[in-house]
């Protein structure tokens, strides 16, 4: 702290910066075309120093924590300061240039004041399709990044206020759903420009020097806070492992290994022992892995803290090159979220090894999803529908697990039935909790979701889920039992049906997809569950009488 700035001014400017990114996020959401942004909230906005350090972030999706922080160094390295000018807006999405996967498009705009670059505003949004082999671009069987659509290096989407028309037309020409893609991209541009206007207001009020000093102090505050929290926690070290059902191509499970050590005011997270990078598209890009670590550490040690680049400084993250958590180019990474969710679940389990006060049972991290290329029911134009489903979270020492949520890194909302039926030839027949899916325990695991889709027209669909194998379902803790695994069943209009896990199929009018996501694990021995809680579960239909007798015994169930 210097004589030119005081703690109150830092706090006031910090509030202004948080309001800025929040308003920019609202602008992006309200302007976007695709339901995955507008309704399911798969986007984030942030503000950075001139050097690229995040000082304010509006992260609706925890998977995006730190994503733009790790992409900014690549942008700065590829665009020397003398080439950046007022009115520029940059675009990038390359997972090997600091991004997560190609569908997450980053947009950054430099903030100038009095001819000086003083900050950056940025946003990230998940696009429904950006070309590639599969509808929705993501593909479990992809074997190369070259199958995963357009990859933008860090180039100018807008230069000195003038749009790069050739680049925009090229993008539009290579997506299956150009109306949605263009609407979403323009929403990102508008969001960035709103951020620039709000930054001009802040500069006018406080001046450049005070603003820059406040941003520097916010980074220092973030570092001091997390170091203080870590120093106050007991030292310890523990390891855990988790598994993906398979790599998207073969049937062998994929091991995620992690050890976590808390030493003084630092934390070391080491992925040594993780399996080599996969042949399929489930590899976790480096940035996605780092974001998973940030979320798990934040949730375990300081969930109420503001997220800035300063809070990352005490973390040492070791990622073996060429592994499933840090693949080498040109490995496919489009379905990195499945691995990232499993990474998070495994880190949570490891931290509980030396922080028993944080013990929680495992959650459903299978992220059951589909992407369908189809025709708009009114216009007849090609569109791409995407939906993602969560499930149950694990129980803990104090509470049952939450039901029907997108846990850990997800947090996307459910695609509304009305929106789906208005924009796509797909009817959502039902969305309900799946009884008996939560693992029994003193505190029961949360329930999974049953959602049934009926296709009203011919569609090309990619389906995928994880945790279909019972041995990899959400684990119980403290004597609790595991949650139920996930399952997908395609019911054909001719009466036949087929169980699927990761498939690409053509569906016809009248076919139905039954998606059942997994439940969370239970915490504590089922015999310790309160009788009133068992009765409430039975009344609400969360547990069937047969399942209650099996879990708690005929006598307690009868009581």
Reported as a single tens digit per residue, the pLDDT across 136-149 is: 999 999 999 999 99
374 Cβ neighbours under 8 A, 6+ residues apart? 382, 383, 384, 385, 424, 425, 426, 455, 457, 458, 459, 460
pTM score over 0.85: yes
Share of the chain above pLDDT 70, in %: 98
Sign of CA dihedral 471, 475, 479, 484: negative
What pLDDT score does 156 carry? 98
Question: Phi, psi (5° rounding) for residue 226?
Answer: -65, -35
What pLDDT score does 62 carry? 85
CA distance 255 to 260: 16
What pLDDT score does 3 carry? 44
* Average pLDDT of the residues in 246-270: 96
Residue 235: CB atoms within 10 A of its CB come to 11
The CA–CA distances, whole Å, from 186 to 25, 39, 86, 126, 265 equal: 14, 17, 19, 13, 43
Given 190, 224, 258, which residue is the final one in a domain?
A: 224
* Average pLDDT of the residues in 388-406: 96
Reported as a single tens digit per residue, the pLDDT across 438-453 is: 999 999 999 999 999 9
CA distance 413 to 61: 10
CA distance 491 to 471: 26
What pLDDT score does 552 carry? 85
Per the prediction, the chain carries an average pLDDT of 95
Reported as a single tens digit per residue, the pLDDT across 69-120 is: 999 999 999 999 999 999 999 999 999 999 999 999 999 999 999 999 999 9
Helices marked H in 173-285 — which ranges?
178-206, 208-232
Reported as a single tens digit per residue, the pLDDT across 414-467 is: 999 999 999 999 999 999 999 999 999 999 999 999 999 999 999 999 999 999
Residue identified by tokens 């399952």 is 487
What pLDDT score does 463 carry? 95
Q: Which two tokens stand for residue 303?
A: 């969930």
Reported as a single tens digit per residue, the pLDDT across 299-315 is: 999 999 998 999 999 99
* Average pLDDT of the residues in 504-512: 97
Lowest mean pLDDT among 23-27, 61-65, 254-258, 325-329: 61-65
What pLDDT score does 1 carry? 42
Please check whether residue 267 lies inside any domain of the structure. Answer: no
Residue 245 · residue 501 · CB < 8 Å: yes
Structural domain for 71, as ranges: 7-224
Given 197, 224, 251, which residue is the final one in a domain?
A: 224
Please check whether residue 198 lies inside any domain of the structure. Answer: yes
Domain count, the chain: 2
What pLDDT score does 446 carry? 98
Among the listed residues 418, 477, 486, 405, the one whose alpha carbon sits nearest the alpha carbon of residue 443: 477
Question: Phi, psi (5° rounding) for residue 344?
Answer: -60, -45
Does 559 score more than 70 pLDDT? no
Does 4 score more than 70 pLDDT? no
Among the listed residues 184, 182, 174, 72, the one whose alpha carbon sits nearest the alpha carbon of residue 126: 184
Reported as a single tens digit per residue, the pLDDT across 28-37 is: 999 999 999 9
Please check whether residue 250 lies inside any domain of the structure. Answer: no
Reported as a single tens digit per residue, the pLDDT across 194-243 is: 999 999 999 999 999 999 999 999 999 999 999 999 999 999 999 999 99
Please check whether residue 256 lies inside any domain of the structure. Answer: no
Please check whether residue 33 lies inside any domain of the structure. Answer: yes
What pLDDT score does 555 carry? 65
Among the listed residues 329, 482, 472, 458, the one whose alpha carbon sits nearest the alpha carbon of residue 395: 482
In terms of domains, do 220 and 363 share one? no
Please check whether residue 232 lies inside any domain of the structure. Answer: no
Please check whether residue 192 lies inside any domain of the structure. Answer: yes
Given 172, 193, 224, which residue is the final one in a domain?
A: 224
At CA 478, angle to CA 475 and CA 484, rounded to 5?
A: 25
Please check whether residue 103 lies inside any domain of the structure. Answer: yes
What pLDDT score does 2 carry? 43
Does 59 score more than 80 pLDDT? no
């Amino acid at each position: 702290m210097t004589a030119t700035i005081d703690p109150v001014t830092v706090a006031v400017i910090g509030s202004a910066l948080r309001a800025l990114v929040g308003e920019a996020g609202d602008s992006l959401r309200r302007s976007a075309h695709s339901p995955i942004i507008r309704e399911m909230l798969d986007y984030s906005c942030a503000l950075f120093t001139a050097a690229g350090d995040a000082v304010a972030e509006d992260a609706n999706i925890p998977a995006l924590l730190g994503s733009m922080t790790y992409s900014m160094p690549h942008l700065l390295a590829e665009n020397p300061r003398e080439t950046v000018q007022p009115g520029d807006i940059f675009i990038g999405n390359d997972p090997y240039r600091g991004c997560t996967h190609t569908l997450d498009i980053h947009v950054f705009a430099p903030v100038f004041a009095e001819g000086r670059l003083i900050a950056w505003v940025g946003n990230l949004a998940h696009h429904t399709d950006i070309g590639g082999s599969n509808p929705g671009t993501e593909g479990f069987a992809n074997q190369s990044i070259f199958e995963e659509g357009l990859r933008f290096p860090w180039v100018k989407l807008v230069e000195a206020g003038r749009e790069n028309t050739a680049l925009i037309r090229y993008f539009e020409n290579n997506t299956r759903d150009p109306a949605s893609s263009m609407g979403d991209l323009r929403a990102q541009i508008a969001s960035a420009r709103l951020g620039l206007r709000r930054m001009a207001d802040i500069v006018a009020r406080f001046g450049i020097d005070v603003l820059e000093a406040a941003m520097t102090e916010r980074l220092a505050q973030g570092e001091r806070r997390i170091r203080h929290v870590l120093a106050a926690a007991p030292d310890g070290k523990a390891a855990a492992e988790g598994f993906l059902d398979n790599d998207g191509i073969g049937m062998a499970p994929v091991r995620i290994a992690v050890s976590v050590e808390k030493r003084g005011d630092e934390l070391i997270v080491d992925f040594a022992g993780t399996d080599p990078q996969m042949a399929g598209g489930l590899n976790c890009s480096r940035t996605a892995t780092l974001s998973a670590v940030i979320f798990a550490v934040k949730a375990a040690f300081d969930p109420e803290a503001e997220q800035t680049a300063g809070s990352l400084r005490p973390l040492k993250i070791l990622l073996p090159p060429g592994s499933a958590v840090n693949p080498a180019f040109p490995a496919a990474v489009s379905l990195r979220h499945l691995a990232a969710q499993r990474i998070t679940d495994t880190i949570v389990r490891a931290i509980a090894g030396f922080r028993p006060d944080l013990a929680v049972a495992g959650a459903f991290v299978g992220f059951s999803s589909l992407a369908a290329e189809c025709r708009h029911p009114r216009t007849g134009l090609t569109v791409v529908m995407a939906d993602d489903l969560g499930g149950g979270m694990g129980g803990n020492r104090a509470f049952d697990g939450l039901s029907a949520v997108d846990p850990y890194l997800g947090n996307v909302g459910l695609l509304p039935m009305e929106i789906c039926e208005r924009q796509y030839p797909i009817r959502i027949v039902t969305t309900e909790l799946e009884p008996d899916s939560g693992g029994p325990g003193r505190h029961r695991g949360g329930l999974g979701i049953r959602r049934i889709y009926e296709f009203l027209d011919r569609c090309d669909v990619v389906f995928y889920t994880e945790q279909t194998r019972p041995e990899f379902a959400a684990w119980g803790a403290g004597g609790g039992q595991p949650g139920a695994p996930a399952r997908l069943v395609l019911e054909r209009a001719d009466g036949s049906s087929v169980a699927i896990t990761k498939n690409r199929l053509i569906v016809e009018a009248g076919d139905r997809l039954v998606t059942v996501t997994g439940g969370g694990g239970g915490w504590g021995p089922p015999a310790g569950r309160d009788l009133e809680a068992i009765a409430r579960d039975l009344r609400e239909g969360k547990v069937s009488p047969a399942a209650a007798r099996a879990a708690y015994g005929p006598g307690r169930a009868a009581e």
